[in-house]
Copies of this chain bind each other. A is one copy, B any other.
């Protein structure tokens, strides 16, 4: 392994130069005029993968932009197989005026490389490639079997990834998926994401009278759909912030003591959090810390609500109907279809007989959890500690990353999120950049990761 680390050190300038070449290609996936640029980027990448010694490298055509695929399976059937996923497409550059330098002329300033895609996700993709290159060029082999899948449509919602995964389920079979497209918890705090929340997104409409009524002529004799909706929303949670939908918590995996201790290790300033949002206090389910609430506990939020007269001034109307969009964030092992059904049944059950209630499901997705003691997470832990010199932090995400769920569902493999970005690196904004010390340590860490699996 020391040979590999030596290679990484010796070739750092070359890797930086190659990363700059990669960043210079304006692979904006959403812009129809840049289709040739995206294709050119895919070709550049395929050439690079061939150059470092991967086999069967192809740019697979899809209904949209191509998927670049390559593999090295010579470690043999006794060794695990890891699939690395990333994306080579980038966000648009607007507002272009706010960039300090042209977004596709990569520039190094203050230990950071500035360019569109620097942190999201070309920089993080390239450090994996550099790590694989370092192994192959040093030893002629990789420690494990590796499959590399880099798509060109992540920034437009990966519309062709699911069909591709389904079609190539056998070819892509693996023991672990690794993705580097997220952020570290904070600078110098390498972290591993091992859980994502799921989502069940519902809409409730309360229908009262067949038309808007004069609130003087009818007020007091007709159930008001807006008042009824407010009461339904209120009855969805108790005074302790717990969701009252029967059976809602049945499948919730409780936080382990180890997880709670791990989250508690993370620096957290309640004051700073509230000040940044300008709220007097944070608020959530009784008995949990803010990070626990965000990452490991389900929740329910009104996302939108509307009824009656919403303009300036006053109109004395008793509205005919009222609606709300209500979504629930789910945690392992809740199932979004089951929760959506329970929600619908409960809302119907508590709706008063004075109105008609309609409940619909917009969509949903299941939560994701990769066991902390799985080989992938354990390998990532050791690798990050070697590269950064500190014990890495185990974290989850409050939101969903649809592709993670897709991988877990189709390939049935645990997903490890090993992010080297920082939340301050302006992803999707002008002056996107990537910290070069994380680029360097990222190459080392991923090189170790492939060795530790």
Chain A residues engaging chain B, CB cutoff 8 angstroms: 197, 199, 201, 208-211, 213-224, 226-227, 229-231, 233-234, 237, 273, 277-285, 290, 293-294, 297-311, 313-319, 322-325, 327, 329, 352-356, 362-363, 397-400
Minimal beta-carbon separation of A250 from chain B (angstroms): 19
Which residues on the B side are within 8 Å of A279 (C-beta)?
A: 208-210, 222-223, 354-355
Given contacts A222-B282, A222-B283, contact A308 B302 (CB under 8 A): yes
CA distance A324 to B199 in the complex (A): 28
Smallest CB-CB A-B distances: 8 pairs: A216-B399, A220-B299, A226-B302, A230-B233, A304-B308, A223-B283, A304-B309, A210-B278
Minimal beta-carbon separation of A94 from chain B (angstroms): 20
Is there contact, CB below 8 Å, between B327 and A314?
yes
Is there contact, CB below 8 Å, between A309 and B329?
no
Is there contact, CB below 8 Å, between B317 and A303?
yes
Is there contact, CB below 8 Å, between B299 and A306?
no
CA distance A249 to B119 in the complex (A): 63
Minimal beta-carbon separation of A90 from chain B (angstroms): 21
Is there contact, CB below 8 Å, between B307 and A319?
no
CA distance A300 to B322 in the complex (A): 16
Given contacts A220-B293, A221-B290, contact A301 B355 (CB under 8 A): no
**Contact partner, A301, options B219, B278, B325, B329, Cβ 8 Å:** B219
Which residues on the B side are within 8 Å of A237 (C-beta)?
A: 227
Instruction: Give me 22 A-to-B residue pairs in the complex whose CB atoms sit less than 8 angstroms apart, sorted by A's number.
Output: A201-B316, A210-B278, A215-B303, A219-B294, A219-B301, A219-B327, A221-B283, A222-B277, A226-B233, A226-B302, A226-B303, A226-B304, A226-B305, A227-B300, A279-B355, A302-B322, A303-B314, A303-B318, A304-B315, A306-B306, A306-B310, A315-B325
Question: Which residue on chain B has the smallest CB distance to residue A363?
Answer: B314
**Contact partner, A354, options B281, B310, B316, B355, Cβ 8 Å:** B281
Question: Which residue on chain B has the smallest CB distance to residue A294?
Answer: B221
**Contact partner, A220, options B209, B310, B398, Cβ 8 Å:** B398
